[in-house]
Amino acid sequence: MREAPAKRLSKKALPVWRITGFLESLFYLIFPIGYGILLVLFDWPLWVLYVLILLWIAVALLQSLLVPAIRWRRWRYEVYEEEIDLQYGVFIIRRTLIPMIRVQHVDTEQGPIYRHYNLAAVSISTAATVHQIPALTEETASDLRDQIADLAQTADNDD
């Protein structure tokens, strides 16, 4: 059996994923707020509102504290001459091998939070889908993009 990839993402991924996890958890705040509005209009039990608030707090803590830590520990990647090896997942661990011959183009991406932390993501496009290596330092992402582009071009020339 092949060994797991060795390279890890930047440690700066943790605060970024914590921020985005908290922002995503704000979506679920709609349930206690909606129930609170309906509670004013109808004579519904108050204890349900407390349960919904506790559930939202639990989801916010999971998404902003626990999941980013597990996600960072599991995310690994490695670039070989013939393929790119990705391993990631929180509850279900995925292992993806991308043959260099299938790589069509490689991009780096930065959103506002990534830019604040000097991070970038590398997107690897094949004919079927796009794979992404998130939360790399800008320099690492740039070097990785160039390395994958060179290896993909070499793989195309070998055919």
What pTM was estimated for this model as a whole? 0.82
* Stronger pLDDT, 154 or 100, i.e. the higher one: 100
At residue 153 the predicted structure's pLDDT band, cuts being 50, 70 and 90, is confident
Computed on alpha carbons and rounded to an integer, the radius of gyration of the chain in Å comes to 21
Averaged pLDDT score across all residues of the chain? 93
Tokens representing residue 27 in the block: 């979506």
At residue 159 the predicted structure's pLDDT band, cuts being 50, 70 and 90, is low
Q: What contacts 57, CB < 8 A, 6 or more positions away?
A: none
Calculate the CA dihedral of residues 40, 42, 43, 48 and round it to 10 degrees.
-70
At residue 64 the predicted structure's pLDDT band, cuts being 50, 70 and 90, is very high
